[in-house]
Structure 1
Amino acid sequence: MRHILLSEGTTAFGDGLWFSMWAIYLTSVQGVPTGSMGLAMGLGGGIGLLVALPVGTLTDRLGAREVFLALTLLRAAFSLMFLAVHSFWPLFIAAALFTSTGTAAKGTKVTLIYHLLSEQHCMPVLAQARVVQHVLYAAGAGAAAWVLSNSDPAPYHLAVVVNSLTFIVSAAVLRHLPHIPPTPAKRLRANTEALRNLPFLMIMSSTAVLALCWAILSSGLPLWLQHGTAVPVWIAPLAVLASSLLIALFQVRVSRKGQRLSGAVRSSWLSSLTLAACCLAFAAASWPKDPRLATAIILGGLALHVTSELYYVAARWGLSIKLMADGAQGQYQAVAASTEGAVTALGPALVVTLITDAQAAGWIVLAFLFLICSLPVVPLCRLALRRRSAVRVETH
């Protein structure tokens, strides 16, 4: 477990560094036009999601440690490509390659931890890894703040190299993990097993809508504070910091509630309800003209937001682990990662469009979306369990 946490913390520092500065780096240092940058990163990231399922199949056939190690080294190489991009097509290719390995690595990591530990200890370790991730991500973001304070291109290029080095260090740590034997040929499922499991695919797709919580915090809230409320904009970065600290404090405890399938279902409901309530609170903050009252409402919404994120993560882990089929764990975790990745990629555009065009009504639309996305989880879980039982009978 120590090696997993160390590996996760190392790459989290690089992620915090890169994702806090990439937009400024690509436009101001590398000279990519803003419109081209957004389109290239968005399209490249979307295409990169298609790689997750084939990599998940390889995870089952070659072993989780080896595939995760290879993905980590590829991320080191692909991250360096950003040093050479100055226009749309090179950036598109770099974004597609870097995003594809990153999304695939998320599913492979869960599969690796699942095989290394008993199912009982899998979610606690995932939660501890997320705690480490948030702490080191914040440290990386702090390093990015220093980079962004410079007008000289050298610190920016150095930061890209440092990000690449974090993957190399992580790979060196991963080599100390025990070998995970590939799934025996007689237990392997068809390459499209996870995609053909429609109840599982629908559960992962519907609950992935809750991943919009990250777009709300990173993209929606700053714009809303600036243009829709009397709340000072500096509340937004403080909200991100406070959210990271609270997740670090409570993720392990909350994740225990999702270890049973019934608990994972309840966690998805709680996430839906609290995120919907968060959106309604943000909408209500546009009415008071007194900054103090508006700020109090926003802070209440932020408390609901943190609660929703905690329960969302617990629900996703619990549902994906409890419902995946034996012999195709890599495939199933790839589906979970790619559905979440799709929402994460499209989320900022959706949230910003709703908030800027519809304003308070946009928050109400989001609240309704969050309320309904977890409603079908129970009947879909029954179908998924029935399908898994039928497959077990056939294979025996």
Structure 2
Amino acid sequence: MTERTSWGARFTRALPATRESRIIALNALVGSVGTGMFLAGSALYFTRFAGLSETQLGLGMGIAGVVGLATTVPVGRLADRFGPRNVLLVVVLWRAIGYLAYLNVDGFTEFVVTASLLYVMDRAGQPLNQALVGRLITGTERNRTMGFIRSLRNLGFTVGFGIAGIALTTGSEAAFRWLFIGNAISFVFVFTFVTMLPKVGPSAPKGEDGAPDPAATVVPPLRDWRFVAAMASNGVLFLHDAVLITVLPLWVAEHTPSPDWMITVLVTTNTVITVLGQVRVTRHIDSLPSAARATNWSAVLLTFACCAFAASGVVDTPAWASVTLMGALLLLTVAELLHSASSWEISFALSPAAAQGRYLAFFNLGFSAAEIAGPVVVLWLLARTGPSGWLVLAVFFPLAAALNWIGTRPRKTTPTAPAGAEATPVSTPTGA
């Protein structure tokens, strides 16, 4: 009985601590299963059944990505005005309808319009979820919840890819269309779960004494140079995602003597470590100074990972190539865990409470830019320079750590709006 109780207690402690954090984590799992199904089959569907060439698909996604980047911060402003929960409900419904609308696309123009309208909400989803976490959860549980979100998203993507793999063995258009429908259904469930969360309205601007003060002002995120530096650092460090998802498979297959099955081994290893380790890492990153140190370590590990990837391209045996690739993958994965946890803490700590939506949306621009441009830039670099390209890439990570130091060092004075500038009525940035 005691042993059962002990295991039960351990299981309970391993779960998110609050009702709100459990609902948000469940949302991440359900939504990512649907997204994984969609991502696994979307490119083939559009090129086989929607009248698009591969070039048109890439160009259309690029245009939609730019639209999503341009609208992320305005959607964040809406979250500050109407509350992140209310805006997130609209976003989720929009996404459900948008993925169904893809099924009626026929040709390049229809694809660009549909994708652009959908990307407006796709890009806003992540900062809105983080803003909701920031409003509903406090203390160490806040970053822990973000860890659960990331772990469960990785797990959900894996499940979604597996479901899609089974469905796509038929190769029929109907099977592909059901992947889109399944994704839309997942967002209907997400909408239902979000309605179960407490209503949170806009935060009232507060003065230095904590009382409501409509005259309280703060520099908008673009004019807060510390926040801009932290955002830029986050974008550079997030290149680890481009390396893992896009660059790694091509590098292993085309530039190393390692067998192609190593791609599956490497990606699976990363997924397992992320699912099991992300929440644990957040336990040690609970303040701005600890997050800054974690960012530095992440940059160091990414630098060494790049050196290991370069080595994998110059060794002449499959065994040594596999060993160096696995070493690079482990360094990359630990750096990824540290960077993810530190980026949440830094973005929360540097965002003013009443402007959290737009600040987190602005911080997310670094992530989005790296996601869109990162694969193209890194693949171009490696195509031109080979293994030495990894050494060029390695230089950028210490520079990112330096940028992060600029952004996270203690603020000497309270920022105020520049003379003559339009001030936004929000509270002054404070620590987490």
TM bin, normalised by shorter chain, reads: over 0.9
Structure-1 separation of matches of 2:403 and 2:65: 29
1:182 aligned to 2:174? Answer: no
Q: Which runs of structure 1 show a deviation greater than 3 angstroms over 4 or more consecutive aligned residues?
A: 185-192, 386-395
Query: What corresponds to 2:250 in structure 1?
Result: 223
* Matched AA of 1:300: G
Query: What corresponds to 1:246 in structure 2?
Result: 273
Aligned pair in 2 of structure 1 residues 81, 293: CA closer, same or farther (>3 Å)?
Answer: same
1:15 aligned to 2:50? Answer: no
* Matched AA of 1:230: P
Query: What corresponds to 2:287 in structure 1?
Result: 260
CA RMSD of aligned residues (A): 2.1
Deviation of 1:192 (Å): 7.2
1:301 aligned to 2:362? Answer: no
Aligned pair in 2 of structure 1 residues 192, 155: CA closer, same or farther (>3 Å)?
Answer: farther
* Matched AA of 2:44: I
Deviation of 1:271 (Å): 1.2
Give 1 or 2: higher helix fraction: 1
1:142 to 150, 158, 162: 162
- Indicate if the aligned counterparts of 1:261 and 1:319 stay in contact, CA closer than 8 A: yes
The one-character-per-residue Cα deviations of 1:199-224 (angstroms, maximum 9, x if unpaired) are: 10221112211111111112111111
- Indicate if the aligned counterparts of 1:194 and 1:328 stay in contact, CA closer than 8 A: no
DSSP 3-state at the match of 1:328: helix
Q: Report 1:1-396 matches (<5 A).
A: 1-184=21-204, 193-382=220-409, 385-386=411-412, 388=414
Deviation of 1:394 (Å): 11
The one-character-per-residue Cα deviations of 1:19-59 (angstroms, maximum 9, x if unpaired) are: 22221121123231110100100121122111111111111
- Indicate if the aligned counterparts of 2:228 and 2:407 stay in contact, CA closer than 8 A: no
* Matched AA of 1:303: L
- Indicate if the aligned counterparts of 1:57 and 1:191 stay in contact, CA closer than 8 A: no
Structure-1 separation of matches of 2:183 and 2:198: 26
Deviation of 1:159 (Å): 0.6
Aligned pair in 2 of structure 1 residues 15, 74: CA closer, same or farther (>3 Å)?
Answer: same
DSSP 3-state at the match of 2:247: helix
- Indicate if the aligned counterparts of 2:229 and 2:406 stay in contact, CA closer than 8 A: no
Structure-1 separation of matches of 2:53 and 2:33: 27
The one-character-per-residue Cα deviations of 1:76-107 (angstroms, maximum 9, x if unpaired) are: 11112221223222222222222221221111
DSSP 3-state at the match of 1:243: helix
- Indicate if the aligned counterparts of 1:207 and 1:316 stay in contact, CA closer than 8 A: yes
Q: TM-score, normalised by structure 1?
A: 0.94
DSSP 3-state at the match of 1:51: helix
DSSP 3-state at the match of 2:402: coil
Report how many residues are paired: 394
Structure-2 separation of matches of 1:388 and 1:14: 44
Q: TM-score, normalised by structure 2?
A: 0.87
Aligned pair in 2 of structure 1 residues 132, 199: CA closer, same or farther (>3 Å)?
Answer: same
Deviation of 1:177 (Å): 0.4
* Matched AA of 2:45: Y
Larger deviation, residues 66-75 vs 373-382: 373-382
Percent identity over paired residues: 28
Structure-1 separation of matches of 2:79 and 2:130: 11
* Matched AA of 1:129: I
- Indicate if the aligned counterparts of 1:33 and 1:87 stay in contact, CA closer than 8 A: no
Aligned pair in 2 of structure 1 residues 81, 238: CA closer, same or farther (>3 Å)?
Answer: farther
- Indicate if the aligned counterparts of 1:207 and 1:374 stay in contact, CA closer than 8 A: no
DSSP 3-state at the match of 1:271: helix
Structure-2 separation of matches of 1:267 and 1:21: 36
Structure-2 separation of matches of 1:260 and 1:251: 17
Deviation of 1:147 (Å): 2.9
Larger deviation, residues 182-191 vs 36-45: 182-191
Deviation of 1:381 (Å): 2.0
- Indicate if the aligned counterparts of 1:269 and 1:374 stay in contact, CA closer than 8 A: yes
Deviation of 1:336 (Å): 1.5
The one-character-per-residue Cα deviations of 1:137-185 (angstroms, maximum 9, x if unpaired) are: 1100111212332221100011101101101110011101000021226
* Matched AA of 1:213: H
Query: Any stretches of 5+ residues in structure 1 without a counterpart?
Result: none
Structure-1 separation of matches of 2:249 and 2:342: 27
Larger deviation, residues 209-218 vs 157-166: 209-218
Larger radius of gyration between Structure 1 and Structure 2: 2
